[in-house]
Structure 1
Amino acid sequence: MATTMFHFGIIIFTCLTLCVDFATTQGRYYVVDSKPEQRTNAGTKFVFALSENYSLRHNATLVITNKSPLDTRVNITYNRKNIIENLAIPMGKHKTVYLPNDVVLKKTDGITVQNGIAVISDNDVIVQVYNDVHHRSMDGFLALPTHALGTEYYIITYSPWIQSQFALVATEDDTEIYFTPAQPYQFARRTIVPAGSRIKLTANQFEAIQLQCPECDFSGARINSNKPIAVISGNRCASVPEDIQSCDHLVEQLPPVNQWGKTFIAAPLMGRPQASGNRFRILAARYGTEIGVGADSVSLKPGEYHDFQLAANETTLVVSNKPILTAQFCSGFEADNITGDPAMTLVPSLEQRVNEATFVTYNKTKEQTEVTNFITVHADCTDFEDILLDGRQMTSIPDVEFTTVELTDYCIGSIEVARKGMHSIIGDTNTTMFSAILYGFAYYNSFAHPIAMGLKDTLCRSPLPGISDIVEHDCEQQLITVQLPCMEVPNETLIECDYTECVKPVYVIAIAVGCVLVAIMIETLIRTKLMVRENYVDKHFYTPRELYHRKAVVRKQHRDSNQVMTLYNK
């Protein structure tokens, strides 16, 4: 009986708590949020690493462009103290620097720290990095300045022919890094780490750690740290697709999750018009990510990715309800027997468009074969009249091929860049925005990377006034809706407190009484069930009279047993 009453009390308490909480938490606060700071890939401090290539035969290449209106000095170091070069770059000019091949990361157990590279300048510069230490295996990436680095990343790469890999570079001392693989991984060449387990790594400023996996694809692995880090992802040498021979080095520097976008244009690469240049991978970082790829849709969880391929000369829009990362891959030479090889580039999101960009073409491979350079620009169709390539309207350049993205107001413009050297793309008005990719093809060689990237925060975390909680939200969101107790006093930083959905106290009492009645009904039902269960013996139900006689028989058997035991003891 006591147990039943205890259960009854628990039921009433739970029902009252739920009902009263529901009735008194319908108030909503609306919090104003400021817009994120506008940032691009131009900066004064960069840290990165050169991952291992197919083999090590040549020096790697840096192209540094002075973006400031002043002459600037640039210092390039590795391992914090070893100076590679100290140079001056005049205003509006660029210089090419060849890095000694001992700065390229070597095969590692994932524990040993190696040399990170730092580029530090007096004024804003742009850094293009090319890992071309093998004459027929190369790729490049656009270096991201340290002011845009973060503490949460997801790896995006491709299935390996030799090794899937990524490198982590610390920007500060005592950096703790946690790596969570998306599939089982043999860490330090001996320990099998299950998917979802965390590996802790440590590094000091400008130190680099490289992790490699010959059997697995690192895509979907999560990286988080206590201090900002640089993450360089790719493959030592990958065949794209996996059944096509002639592998090539793949590499990109990844933006942190808080800079991912929701809208992308998937378009072919000029110069390889067939499906060989139209392979894409989309990666999610949050639960409930719903993505539309043209007329198709896909749902992804954190660390999950979706691959798709477009037909020749097909374009499509990729739209998501939550931030995603998108990469594009170029196939190997044997895919279409057209000059080129595998390459990887990030597809800049339309949320991270820029108003101006400067880039330098990559003209000759290390075996001195000519490289044909191309650019593809993504923008609103009406904006192309105001986009200038080297001072000329793109719409007035006969060689530009324009394509409208189906069922949208977006267009792409692609052109072969015949003139070698430095070029500019500029929006003629402050509201003219675009994104663009630079890529090049040579005999058994390719490279691809964004020309410029906006690096503003798109995913923000804001503390709420008067509450200890932190809410994650779209950075462009001006108002944040949060449910709070109805009796909460509005904070002066809040622009509105809506009590229209709150329940009046008299109704709260009525709801509470109703909850008690419901609890009594539930308790009565439970007690009835228990009584029926007590009357259930040997899988048969008994009437009260049958149950009385059965209990009498049991008592008689018990007395007879006691009498037998008494005679035996005598």
Structure 2
Amino acid sequence: MGVAMKNLFSIILLIILFSAMSIAVRAGDAYTEEDIKSMLPKMLGANNVGKEFWFSIPPCYPSDPTDDIKVYVTSPYRTLVTIEVPGEGWRQSKMSVPNDVIVFEVSPTMGQPYWKLPSDPEVPDNVFVGRGVHLYANDPIVAYVVVRYYATSDGFLAIPVSSLGKEYIAAGYPVDPMFKAMWNIYLPNVCLVVAPYDQTKVRFTVGGNSLTVTAGGLRPGQTKEVVLNRGDVLGMSTKGDGGDLSGSRIVANKPVAVITGNQCTNIPIGWQWCDYTVEMDLPTFTWGKEYLVPKIPGRKYPTIIRVYAKEKNTTIYRDGKEFAFLKNTSGTEGNGFLETRLTTGVIKPAIISGDKPIGVTLYNTGSQEDGQPCISDPFVMAITPMEQFQKEITFCMPGTFGGKQFRTANYLALVYETDSLGMTPDDLEFAEVKSGKFVWQKIKNKFPGVDDLFSYKVNGKQYALKILDLPSVGVFKIRAKNPFAGYSFGYDYCDSYGYPTSAALADLEKPDTLPPVPKWKDSCGVI
């Protein structure tokens, strides 16, 4: 089982990314007015930063008494951080260390709304009163949740309450019939909805496929409506073989958190080996129209993607050519979402776009499909829309700070805008830490070679994919004048990880036409 350690890598990535974006203005720091003005855009853009978070954990595949859930928290401030499960009367508090990490350990029976062994039947759709996990602080923090079980693990970036939405479309994966046929176990696709506010009305409309039925007996198109109070969790689970909650639409009258996962999943169906997957779903207001999807090197077949429609009658394009039409927003496979290989035949990057906003998720396959030794397990990776690209990112590799080193392969897939000649621009730079400082080099000099050009231009601009082969240890930065995207992934024996190297959660439904006019007062003698 794999995607193991994806969690730790993303933790460190987000810790460093947050440190780069969120700069603490404290007494004794000699910042000028111009310094503060230059900091503000980065601080304002860090919308994965907040003071309050709500989430829950879909049941993982338990196998060992050492199984646990870790919540990693970082902040540029020294601040009191508290985690609690109100319905269980459990609470812990710690003081953060500026620009460092504190860790909360949460038992599976506390972090999950319910306990489920693989041999246990699926749990009926239900509201679990007060079983949400609540994390809060006096000052802004970033949090990453790690489900670290003996044979499988995964994790997700916690989205603060301030960035939650009122509409989501779940992205899961079908239950492989071989689990029941070969081992008589039940490993469902589960979706959890957590309410940060009292009197939250939630409507869950089931999507999936022709085999989908929830553990409460609902089929595609049928709806469950509940009223949640603060900290309550609505749990929806598939029942039986082949079921899938992908495409299910969650609508609420107040912002909610949505977490979707599989207790263990084969990608694609019928090919081993399975792994636990979990993601905190992104609200649909973050979706865009253009997705530049990287290829996964070292694989025999093109990767699998799923495309989700936000609006009805959405036309889907691959490299500028129409190849699909989704008539519904959310719903069943083929109507509200589709599954396809990124390309047909040739393994190469491709641009997936829609005439209306869409969501795109990449599903890395298990190695059995390739007929190769166990070099990689499945992982699920959200793809960043071009509208959410960034100009600077900071990240680290798996082995950094004591994490597991992936010795087989560690890659960063860099999607960037070329210069006028279709080459790597001079301003695209890479930095690594030497003697405690970042030392910059031109990427085209440090990583020479021929890049993959996307065969279709976006708004007249040429983009390319460069695969950076990186060491298993190190802290790095990338910057450029034009926005770019990065994806970190790697393999080892029966193991893998994959995640977007950077994260942006801008509200694309509200065009930002005016720059912010900051106001502040001198309360500590800094300015």
TM-score scaled by length of structure 2: 0.71
Partner of 1:16: none
- Verify: 1:109 aligned to 2:136, yes or no: no
Does the 8 Å contact 2:213/2:220 carry over to 1?
A: no
- Conserved 8 A contact 1:377-1:437: yes
Q: Given that residues 279 and 328 in structure 1 are in contact (C-alpha distance below 8 angstroms), is that contact kept between their aligned partners in structure 2?
A: yes
Supply the AA of the counterpart residue of 2:428. D
Q: Residue 412 of structure 1 aligns with which residue? A: 465
In the TM superposition, residue 201 of structure 1 has moved relative to its aligned partner by 2.4
- Counterpart of 2:81 (choices 45, 70, 74) is 74
Q: Distance in 2 between matches of 1:193 and 1:165?
A: 14
Partner of 1:459: 509
* TM-aligned CA deviation for residue 417 of structure 1: 4.1
Structure 1 residues 340, 384: CA separation in 2 closer, same or farther (over 3 Å shift)? farther
Alpha-carbon distance in 2 for matches of 1:452, 1:419: 18
Question: How is 1:394-433 mapped onto 2 (pairs within 5 angstroms)?
Answer: 394-398=443-447, 402-408=451-457, 409-420=462-473, 423-427=475-479, 429=481, 432-433=482-483
Cα deviation per residue 1:455-479 (whole Å; 9 max; x = unaligned)?
122125xxxxxxxxxxxxxx3799x
**Structure 1 residues 264 and 202: alpha-carbon distance in aligned structure 2, compared to 1, 3 A threshold:** same
Give yes or no for contact 1:264–1:318 (8 Å, CA) kept in 2: yes
On the 8 A contact 1:111/1:201 being kept in 2, the answer is no
* Aligned mates of 1:388, 1:405 — CA distance in 2: 22
5 Å-filtered alignment, 1:61-460, equals 61-66=70-75, 68=76, 70-79=77-86, 82-91=90-99, 93-102=100-109, 103-106=111-114, 107=116, 108-113=123-128, 115-133=131-149, 135-161=150-176, 162-182=187-207, 186-187=213-214, 189=215, 191-214=216-239, 215=241, 216-270=243-297, 272-275=298-301, 278-294=303-319, 295-301=321-327, 302-303=329-330, 304-309=336-341, 310=343, 311=345, 313-336=347-370, 337-363=373-399, 370=406, 373-382=410-419, 385-390=427-432, 391=438, 392-393=440-441, 394-398=443-447, 402-408=451-457, 409-420=462-473, 423-427=475-479, 429=481, 432-460=482-510
Closer/same/farther in 2, CA of residues 384 and 73 from structure 1, 3 Å limit: farther
How far the C-alpha of 1:362 sits from its partner, in A, is: 4.3
Distance 1:206 1:388 in 2: 43
Which residue is 2:61 aligned to? 54
In structure 1, list runs of 5 or more residues that go unmatched: 1-36, 461-474, 479-570
CA contact (8 A) 1:267 1:313 kept: no
After TM superposition, give the deviation of residue 339 of structure 1 in Å.
Answer: 1.7
Structure 1 pair 62/127, CA: closer, same or farther in 2 (3 Å)?
same
Distance 1:441 1:151, change over 3 A: same
CA pair 249-410 structure 1, distance change in 2 beyond 3 A: same
Q: Give, in angstroms, the shift of residue 307 of structure 1.
A: 1.7
Equivalent pair of 1:400/1:414 in contact (CA under 8 Å): no
Q: 3-state SS of the aligned residue for 2:48?
A: coil
In terms of fraction of residues, the more helix-rich structure is 1
Taking structure 1 as the reference length, what is the TM-score of the superposition? 0.66
Q: CA deviation at 1:387?
A: 4.2
Q: 1:44 aligns with which of 48, 51, 57?
A: 51
**Secondary structure at the residue paired with 2:368?**
helix
Q: Deviations over 1:64-97 (max 9, x none)?
A: 343x3x4444333333752245242222x33454
User: Which is greater in Rg?
Assistant: 1
Give the Cα–Cα distance (whole angstroms) in 2 for the partners of residues 223 and 72 of structure 1. 34
